[in-house]
Structure 1
Amino acid sequence: MKKFFVFLLGLWSTSLLVAQRTFPVNGVADERSSAYAFTNATIVKDGQTTLQKATLIIREGKIVAVGTSVSIPRDAIVIDSKDKYIYPSFIDIYSDYGIPAAPRAPAAFDFRAPAQLASNQKGAYNWNQAIKPEVNAANIFVADEKTAKPLRDLGFGTVLTHQKDGIARGTGAVVTLANEKENFVIVKDKASANYSMNKGTSTQSYPSSLMGVIALLRQTYLDGQWYKNKPASEGVNLSLQAWNDNQKLPQIIDASDKWNDIRADRIGDEFGVQYIIKGGGNEYQRIKEVAATKAPFIVSLNFPMAMDVDDPNDARLVSLADMKNWELAPTNPAAFEKAGIPFCLTTADLPSVRDFYTNLRKAIDNGLTEDKALEALTKTPATLLGVYDRVGSLEAGKLANFIITTGPVFSAKTMIAENWVQGDRYNVKEEAWSDVTGIYNLTINSNGNTATFPIDVKSATQASVISKDTLPARISYNGKIVSLSFSPAKRGRSSYRLSGVANGDTWNGNGEDTSGNRVSWFATYSKATTPATDTSKKRLQIASSKVTFPFDGYGWDSLPTQKDLLIKNATVWTNEKEGRLENTDVLVKNGKISQVGKGLTAGAAKVIDGTGKYLTPGIIDEHSHIAAVSINEGAQSVTSEVRIADNLDPEDINIYRQLSGGVTTSHILHGSANTIGGQTQLIKLRWGVDDEGLKFKGADPFIKFALGENVKRTTSTSNNRFPDTRMGVEEVLNDAFARASDYQKALKGADAKNTRRDLELDALVEIMNKKRFITCHSYVQSEITAAMRVGEKYGVRFNTFTHILEGYKVADKMKAHGANASTFSDWWGYKTEVQDAIAYNAAIMNAVGVNVCINSDDAEMARRLNQEAAKSVKYGGMSEEEAFKMVTLNPAKALHVEDRVGSIKTGKDADLVLWSANPLSIYAVAEKTIVDGIVYFDRDRDSQLRKSITAERNRLVQKMLGEKRAGMPTRPAEASYQKVLQCGDHAEEEDDEVETK
């Protein structure tokens, strides 16, 4: 017999008042306390416990009992829930529900206007307006039924909400989605402390880079610790007080990218904080490193949409990485599950919350289990927020937050009938209470004539008339009202149009026949439909792309490993006293140069034939800006607290490109936007490793200084940041070292424990103590001389002057000071400061006795530094070997790593390049580039990769085209751009106002 449930709708809509409230009632109080018993249901208490034919009892907004043999209270309204499932309502841990958006800068904000150097927030708050831990979500939360309903319809009953603005965003509040006053829906007013790696709506100039954001976060942690003792010099700082108060809460940070996940975790590790990290959806690409953070994660279901790549001119601009990410992004949740990483799922970042189930099912199709999905939407977020005693499962004493469904909740055919939040019923699909499917006998009466039709009802919106030909019918059913229309003939132009009410297994009502005459009708349930066998193949977007390292066409399926190598019979340029050795072998063991000589025995080593080829040390680029997310933190004159190491980008394609040009080591410098810039990072071009793996371990740390036009911003029409002149630049240097001297004394003084730790001054103290070394952007002889004088005043040596195009004028002074030079081979005339540049500069400085390097400062030029070195053979008559040392041994000396790299010598790192011809020839190409004994670039492999990239691109293009042909939504093709960073690139100024060298 057909099952159909009818309830007293008035009782369902009763609002449960949970005891006396302070709010007065304008009228007669109606304090009802109703109990409900949901019987015969399949109750999923949590991800591990499912009860069959069980009962759930609620009273006054809470669960009273759950089980298979519970006593039903006499006053309970009994709701037979046979064939229904009851689940705990979902929890979204990352939301801004009910929170007003932070005010943004006016749309007409003039980016050429003077920079906002100080915070514009009024009151006793932090100096930086992106740090606002004093914001409490509970104080600004307003319940919003319009926003709550779509979330409830998805099955959510609780969210953690906060204001998504700023670096330190304040606290989040756990609230339910009940349509109640704010007082009654806040479950926990301070449930989390929230952070991000984006300064949000702040119009303050600092920070202007990712490394500035990280430095500000680190400094704020230190400031908070210092403020605990209430230092008189700070007065009252409500932000730091709130920061300290918030540290006891769960700490959530929005990282929004796989590499930022790792960066954020390092900040947390430094200060003993375990963040809950909101990822960016690409963690599957580096899941091993993500798992190593030991952090719980918040995972979005915002998967990229297929692009419309019909036009080949559009398709060619879409990167392979972007196409692969489209295919593989749905595997991200499953990657977390397989790696054993605790995670929550969120609706955050979805273009529309209506995409939630579509994308969740796509994730399940790609390996996420339903049990883990449920846990990620219930128990895990509740546990992380410390509210599992209130929500997250169906247990006595918890809030009555649950959903009633027609089947397993993640099944495509399942409907959510209702969502109960705090004991209040919210209808989602009322028709879901009735299983409407089946065969009905329809009888139509018209003027004494009767017509009978069997109707096959497949769902509340789909039906057909059973006859010789199956005839389509239109039906609409909501559990109470039913409407039906169909034509009785296969090609009939007129239809019956019927409407009426449903009463159990019988429907009846009125309508019109095919001639427009009024009719009456009734339909009775006859039998269940025999489900048709679905012979169609289920359409799934199953990923078949491989994750490579890096996530690029030129990446590795698995990272290459170190192997013993024997390079035989090459012309070896040693850069040592032995000079060039003809027909010589080099044996590499354990990543080091083991032997150099003739007729060496290979043993177990792989043999590489070097006959007719040249083997050299790897090229070292002393001045580079590749492999970094940001280069300049130019908002202040002194930003020695920022570190290039904090925002290395190990997937920069320029790493691979420069390996193809024989580069094995690069010195990644901060830009030239300010007098004292950030800390630099020496890297080895180990293509495929993570950011930590790039670092040249054990190398001395350096820092970038700058002089001249870039610093004083000669070309800017709106500069309001000191200094404006070269004299001012000199005084910035004086002031910085004077402050550092005072700071160092304080650290060593009697009140050292109360001295505020200052990351900016820490780096300067390292310079003064010869633990960090300066590389300085420079052009004009007068300012070079002035800088050396300031350094000597404080016992500081400028280790390297870079660019140094007037170095030939002051080479004697540089030698006396002990400075190295890192210059261009033949650049001049590109701005006022270089009018006196000459191509003989490097040779002249070298002749005076200065250690001279040729650098790139340019991602493209770095691929041919061998040719740049060759120019000094022409300009200055240098020998080939001395010229080549300017891109190998000389930069190794300037960077204090000549004991490791720069020449071919037993015991040194096996950083080697096998060239097709004399490396100073324009015809020479690097055939193999080896770092630490690992072949990271091989020209033969590169040729094969180009073919596989073409095939993989074509496969993915065809798959995207298939999405479009199948009627799936697509988005316009988007070109994949990469900005190549330069010395002068920073956020405050337009590129045409910034000198780039």
Structure 2
Amino acid sequence: MVKVFTILFLGLSISAAGAEIPTATVNGVKDSRDTVIALRHATVYVTPEKTLTDVTVVIKDGKISDFLSNNQIPDNAVVIDYQGMHIYPGFIHLDTEVGLPEPAKRPPFKWSGPETLQSTTEGAYNANEAIKAGYNAADQFKPNSKANMALRKAGFTSALSHRHDGIMRGTGALVSLADNPAQLTLLSSTASQHFSFDKGSSKQDYPVSLMGAMALIRQTFLDADWYQQQNKMTDLDLAAINKNSQLPHIFTAKNWQQTLLTRKLSDEFKRSFVVKTAGDSYQSLQAVADTGQTLIVPLNYAKAPEINSPLDSFHVDYSDLKKWQVTPFNTRLLADKGVRFALLPGEDKQGLKTFLADLRKAVEHGLNEQTALAALTTVPAAILKRTDIGHLNKGARADFIVLDQALFNKEATIKDSWINGERVEIDAITPLAAGAYTLTVDGRSHDVNFSFKKGQLKLKPITDNGPVISAKLDGQLLTVMIAEQAPLMAWVSHGDIKPLPSDHRWSITAIEQKGEVSATETDEPSSKTIPNIPNPFSAYGLADTTTPDTVLFKNATVWTNEEEGILEHSDVLVANGKIKQISRQIDISKADLVIDAGGRHLTSGIIDEHTHIALLSVNDVAVNSAMVRMADAINSEDINIYRNLAGGVTAAQLLHGSANPIGGQSALVKMRWGVSPQEMLIDGADGFIKFALGENVKRSRNNQSIRYPLTRMGVEQVYRDAFNEAQKYQKEWQEYNDLSRSKKNKATPPRRDLALEATAEVINQERYISCHSYVQSEISMLMHVAEDYNFKVNTFTHILEGYKVADQMKAHGVGASTFADWWAYKWEVNEAIPYNAAIMDQVGLVTAINSDSAEMSRRLNQEAAKTIKYGGLNEQDAWKTVTLNPAKLLHLEQRMGSIKVGKDADLVLWSDKPLSIYAQAEKTMVDGVIYFDRDQQTALERQINEEKMALIKQSQASDDTKKATIKAAQPPLHCDTLITEDAYLHLNNGAE
């Protein structure tokens, strides 16, 4: 005979697996019961693709044992009737610190005070405190009941817990969220290895920038490879990197640009990363999709900015409004691109509490329900290489949640959470469903609404003109009180209400919801249409930059910068991004687009030899930062790119700042507005590097500094020491590479050092110096140092005392990139003169005018004109200071800097002579693509303003309970700028 123990909606703790530690001493009688549990009549979502209806789920030993149909029940089973309920696999959270102590916080970075140059961590750990790869979350894990319950209420039954601290963060532990001892809840002590670009609690100065973090990661991976082949030292962090190399690598990225950087690391080191994003992938959707990486996506929904006055409307950023509009579509957009992803709650303080609502919001905005469920179950399980969680197939852990409706219904609530066959009640299951009902007593009807608050039944009449009605639910007994009548009682079972005998004829039935749609519901579909997404995700993002393959500029005054000089009434034909023909009366049939350039001036694009626009950070702080690469910190969304295009700038050198004697490697870019960071880079360009002299390097404003060098004399010794070490480094590698194969197998290879490799490239004239410089004595010093090592300095930038040593510079073979008329803005430029550029040019130096300023770069044509006023250069030579001469300094003169057949079609059409203060760039073309067109600018501004006003109206009418404050714009970046996690700092108060 089958013995059945039936439980109806009782908040009892039931378990199909003992929660005792097998190795523990039992103080009493050992509980050896082998409970079998049968859950009847539920709808079970076994996987996102497989659903079973009205089945009995059998749980034994903490696992899914079987599915039975036709009301079959195992012998001796404890039966729970889940009729009308929906069972889903428990969600898996991939980014928690549950059960771990909070990591220490570092003090904010300051330019003043003594530096922290070495690690303060005791023990045989890495020399950089941001490398914490030896940390194991399992070593500090302690179950936390309060945190567990918060996660369980959101539907999670297991979580990946790891410490959010450092660049290489160590391993994460997969834990169940059951309130059991750690020995039973720790599912995997080493489930994953974690990374980020945030140095965390490290007190060391280096790194302070994104590109510094990238450089440290590269160096550490190289060190880990080398570590396996050496026996001179012990480094527990490097050992851990190697030991855990086969674990899933999870990388936390704070924005989509960092997501792209993880792919660079993956390609360089043949490591696959799962990337936890910031939920902003929609801003560069195709680039993120093209990485081919699996993502972990938080449901971060941007809040509508708070608008309290017309002035606020003016100051609110267009892109912030677009974020509010587009973020709900992020997951749908990723899914449409075929990106595999797992989901997380939003990262604000309410993220867990609003998670189910946020999840449904994503579905409302077009995310497929199966994809959404997979992103919480099968995908995270696959990321962790677990086959026992994330689904409810036979043999899986009995980790699941029970809801009173289908998960994606707005009113669905989680009732029970089961982990390893143990039940925890989340919200009491009531036999009566909330909603509208018709109560009929003796032929008289009243429409009422039932709701539940904290488990208590609430009755509210739908109309106000009826009698006073109240109700209470005690278990399955419903009692209804009407005015002064005797109570009416009914037995409720699974929504079926059966009145008990009474003096009145009465009934209560649910009101079916009719298909009438309110006005707000009618508007709903339009809100689910994907809005236009600007590219880049910024004001003046262009919907389309398509330019015909062939463009003809007709009847222009052409400034060639070649022997032909200035050509009147001439035509220039562009084809496939190159200048194809320069002539008069070119047949218009050769072009798809003909531009009437009559009365206008056509020039090659301006090239800014020294700028810091389009960067996410500028300085790092290591004395020799040659390993740092500005290409890792390109911000292709910087509005200054578009503003530069409006000023006729088509290319630039993005330089590291001047905080170090040896700075980072430059990035040479074209102003391709709307492309990814890597696509801005100029293919095949020579490598450059920033050096610096003077006050910034020796930290003149920090009298507590302990970092060498502190004097101008010390700066020279830094260079000589670096070059000596680089030569030694090259020699070591040469000797190793010359060994026979058999000897190599027995030898330890030299340690690869990225800073010394880049420094060696300078000596070998494979990388070229652009040196921040002011005082003539230091200028002379660096040339002498270079000559001692048989190479030439390529460019002195700023070079405001260049007029004093121009003849020496010419003999050395160095070029100059200077300001047109800056002087006396700090001590070491007190002897600068505005005639400097003209003097150096007349001596025969290749002389350029640069901006080093996001503002000045928009009017470099006027800066070039100052060399006519100060020094009497002719128009063509003056114009070359911002076009052909910087091209020569950057070794790009074969491709740009002049209008010549075969060169890149980087062209600017001016309304007047380009050196005139009245001249405006009307069209700016890069590689044959028109990225700025003044003829369309007015219409574009009107379109942006109209959309902005519409978004403000929509956002203020939204149901966001909390609006976001309006952010201040980031100040422009300069040579002495330092951007950290904590602050935006200037070494010399913005003086270069």
User: Aligned pair 1:935/2:930, yes or no?
Assistant: yes
User: Aligned pair 1:630/2:630, yes or no?
Assistant: no
Alignment of 1:887-966 (within 5 A): 887-963=882-958
Alignment of 1:51-90 (within 5 A): 51-68=52-69, 72-90=73-91
2:687 maps to amino acid: P
2:16, 2:36 within 8 Å by CA — same for their partners in 1?
no
**Structure-2 separation of matches of 1:923 and 1:472:** 80
- Superposed CA deviations along residues 809-868 of structure 1, whole A, max 9, x for unmatched, are 111111111100000111000001111101111111111111110111111111111111
1:549, 1:559 within 8 Å by CA — same for their partners in 2?
no
**Structure-1 separation of matches of 2:438 and 2:934:** 72
Q: CA deviation at 1:310?
A: 3.2
| DSSP 3-state at the match of 1:55 | strand
Determine the structure 2 residue equivalent to 1:112: 112
Q: CA deviation at 1:9?
A: 4.2
CA pair 475-704 structure 1, distance change in 2 beyond 3 A: farther
1:915, 1:928 within 8 Å by CA — same for their partners in 2?
yes
CA pair 476-833 structure 1, distance change in 2 beyond 3 A: farther
CA pair 881-429 structure 1, distance change in 2 beyond 3 A: same
Determine the structure 2 residue equivalent to 1:981: 973
| DSSP 3-state at the match of 1:683 | strand
Determine the structure 2 residue equivalent to 1:833: 828
Q: CA deviation at 1:919?
A: 0.8
2:31 maps to amino acid: D
Q: CA deviation at 1:317?
A: 1.5
Unaligned runs of 5+ in 1: 444-449, 489-494, 510-519
**Structure-2 separation of matches of 1:844 and 1:110:** 40
1:236 to 234, 237, 258: 234
1:434, 1:479 within 8 Å by CA — same for their partners in 2?
no
1:464, 1:471 within 8 Å by CA — same for their partners in 2?
no
2:155, 2:401 within 8 Å by CA — same for their partners in 1?
yes
Superposed CA RMSD in Å reads: 2.8
- Superposed CA deviations along residues 414-437 of structure 1, whole A, max 9, x for unmatched, are 222211111111112213454366
2:148 maps to amino acid: A
| DSSP 3-state at the match of 2:74 | coil
CA pair 261-870 structure 1, distance change in 2 beyond 3 A: same
Say which is worse superposed, 137-146 or 451-460, in terms of deviation. Answer: 451-460
1:531 to 493, 510, 513: 513
User: Aligned pair 1:350/2:336, yes or no?
Assistant: no
Say which is worse superposed, 84-93 or 971-980, in terms of deviation. Answer: 971-980
**Structure-1 separation of matches of 2:798 and 2:290:** 41
CA pair 871-7 structure 1, distance change in 2 beyond 3 A: same
1:45 maps to amino acid: V
1:313 to 300, 311, 314: 311
Determine the structure 1 residue equivalent to 2:875: 880
1:821, 1:850 within 8 Å by CA — same for their partners in 2?
yes
Q: CA deviation at 1:696?
A: 1.1
Determine the structure 1 residue equivalent to 2:379: 380
Determine the structure 2 residue equivalent to 1:599: 585
Say which is worse superposed, 196-205 or 618-627, in terms of deviation. Answer: 196-205
2:427 maps to amino acid: K
| TM-score of the two chains, using structure 1 as the length reference | 0.92
| DSSP 3-state at the match of 1:890 | helix
User: Aligned pair 1:670/2:669, yes or no?
Assistant: no
1:587, 1:602 within 8 Å by CA — same for their partners in 2?
no
Determine the structure 2 residue equivalent to 1:491: none
Q: CA deviation at 1:455?
A: 7.0
**Structure-1 separation of matches of 2:479 and 2:824:** 81
Q: CA deviation at 1:26?
A: 3.1
Q: CA deviation at 1:976?
A: 4.5
2:860 maps to amino acid: L
1:431, 1:479 within 8 Å by CA — same for their partners in 2?
no
- Superposed CA deviations along residues 360-387 of structure 1, whole A, max 9, x for unmatched, are 1111111101111100000000011011
1:314, 1:975 within 8 Å by CA — same for their partners in 2?
no
**Structure-2 separation of matches of 1:521 and 1:760:** 94
2:90 maps to amino acid: S
Q: How many residues end up aligned between the 2 structures?
A: 962
User: Aligned pair 1:769/2:751, yes or no?
Assistant: no
CA pair 581-110 structure 1, distance change in 2 beyond 3 A: closer
**Structure-2 separation of matches of 1:548 and 1:243:** 40
**Structure-1 separation of matches of 2:679 and 2:552:** 25
**Structure-2 separation of matches of 1:276 and 1:476:** 51
| DSSP 3-state at the match of 1:986 | strand
- Superposed CA deviations along residues 656-707 of structure 1, whole A, max 9, x for unmatched, are 1011111111111111000000000111111111111111111111000000
2:150 maps to amino acid: P
User: Aligned pair 1:865/2:860, yes or no?
Assistant: yes
Q: CA deviation at 1:93?
A: 1.4
| TM-score of the two chains, using structure 2 as the length reference | 0.92
Determine the structure 2 residue equivalent to 1:339: 337
Q: CA deviation at 1:285?
A: 2.1
Q: CA deviation at 1:991?
A: 2.4
**Structure-2 separation of matches of 1:722 and 1:429:** 63
2:11, 2:425 within 8 Å by CA — same for their partners in 1?
no
| DSSP 3-state at the match of 2:588 | coil
1:506, 1:522 within 8 Å by CA — same for their partners in 2?
no
Determine the structure 2 residue equivalent to 1:643: 629
1:562, 1:591 within 8 Å by CA — same for their partners in 2?
no
1:469 to 460, 465, 468: 465
1:319, 1:976 within 8 Å by CA — same for their partners in 2?
no
**Structure-1 separation of matches of 2:666 and 2:391:** 50
1:303 to 288, 301, 304: 301
**Structure-1 separation of matches of 2:670 and 2:304:** 36
2:111, 2:987 within 8 Å by CA — same for their partners in 1?
no
2:956 maps to amino acid: L
CA pair 702-315 structure 1, distance change in 2 beyond 3 A: same
**Structure-2 separation of matches of 1:182 and 1:240:** 28
1:715, 1:994 within 8 Å by CA — same for their partners in 2?
no
1:585, 1:600 within 8 Å by CA — same for their partners in 2?
yes
**Structure-2 separation of matches of 1:230 and 1:498:** 86
CA pair 564-168 structure 1, distance change in 2 beyond 3 A: same
1:619, 1:902 within 8 Å by CA — same for their partners in 2?
yes
Q: CA deviation at 1:604?
A: 4.0
Alignment of 1:140-179 (within 5 A): 140-179=140-179
Determine the structure 2 residue equivalent to 1:760: 755
2:229, 2:748 within 8 Å by CA — same for their partners in 1?
no
Alignment of 1:412-811 (within 5 A): 412-432=410-430, 434-435=432-433, 439=437, 456-460=448-452, 461-465=457-461, 469-470=465-466, 479=475, 488=483, 526-536=508-518, 537-538=520-521, 540=524, 542=528, 545-561=531-547, 563-605=549-591, 606-634=593-621, 636-750=622-736, 754-811=749-806
**Structure-2 separation of matches of 1:238 and 1:463:** 64
| DSSP 3-state at the match of 1:146 | helix
**Structure-2 separation of matches of 1:260 and 1:561:** 30
1:258 maps to amino acid: W
Q: CA deviation at 1:532?
A: 4.6
CA pair 453-582 structure 1, distance change in 2 beyond 3 A: closer
- Superposed CA deviations along residues 967-994 of structure 1, whole A, max 9, x for unmatched, are 5413243134123110001158942645
Alignment of 1:100-139 (within 5 A): 100-105=101-106, 112-139=112-139
1:301, 1:350 within 8 Å by CA — same for their partners in 2?
no
1:702, 1:774 within 8 Å by CA — same for their partners in 2?
yes
1:188 maps to amino acid: S
Q: CA deviation at 1:166?
A: 0.9
**Structure-1 separation of matches of 2:195 and 2:223:** 16
**Structure-1 separation of matches of 2:546 and 2:347:** 36
| DSSP 3-state at the match of 2:733 | helix
1:688 maps to amino acid: G
| DSSP 3-state at the match of 1:291 | helix
**Structure-1 separation of matches of 2:924 and 2:110:** 48
**Structure-1 separation of matches of 2:468 and 2:227:** 74
CA pair 24-661 structure 1, distance change in 2 beyond 3 A: same
